Structure 1
């Protein structure tokens, strides 16, 4: 089945890139980036992207939500341009908001992120995500 889907288990996953990109951030940015990366891996519009791109956008959004800068150095490290990250961020924000709003449709993912990991998107985070998601419309 995996061969038919052209899915290769040898390639790195987004979490490996997230670990590298969040080395200089605190745990809250890392935790948010992991959750965003997980959500992106399950969303139809973002799951087909390279793991490095998913990681770069996830860390960018997590840093933005926490009010921390995403320095140019990290764009070079991730090999994803600032323009590309900013272009994709609204798509990711929409995916996150969709999951939060439709928890019943995403039961297993919701349970894993929000119940087992005790992940919390605050009201401030949700407002920032809504603002970011509106940039794509």
Structure 2
């Protein structure tokens, strides 16, 4: 059992593949960011909002800040669990989400991350107030 930082995580799992490995023979830092993005999208879809829904509303949550603490390395063949939680909304424009990546074999936390998002109008790219459905979801 993995020791999560927060209760009730949304979790996806990945196995470190050859294309994930860098010259230092561990998972490249950018791969962790991609996994976090994949977890965020999967969580959003599980909550009932997908890309088609975003497009229909002409609104989306776009990353405005990302911060990652790389705590330990993963290597080829390691199985990892990527957990995410929505940790804050200002009910108008922004939300925050955190991530924790753990190696399943020994439970070691490999990464902790944070992302801040702003609601944008897709057609213009400009910040816009969140539609009510975002808060409901």
Higher relative contact order (CA 8 A, sep 6+): 2
- TM-score in terms of structure 1 length: 0.27
Greater helix share, structure number: 1
TM-score (norm 2): 0.27
Q: More strand by proportion, 1 or 2?
A: 2
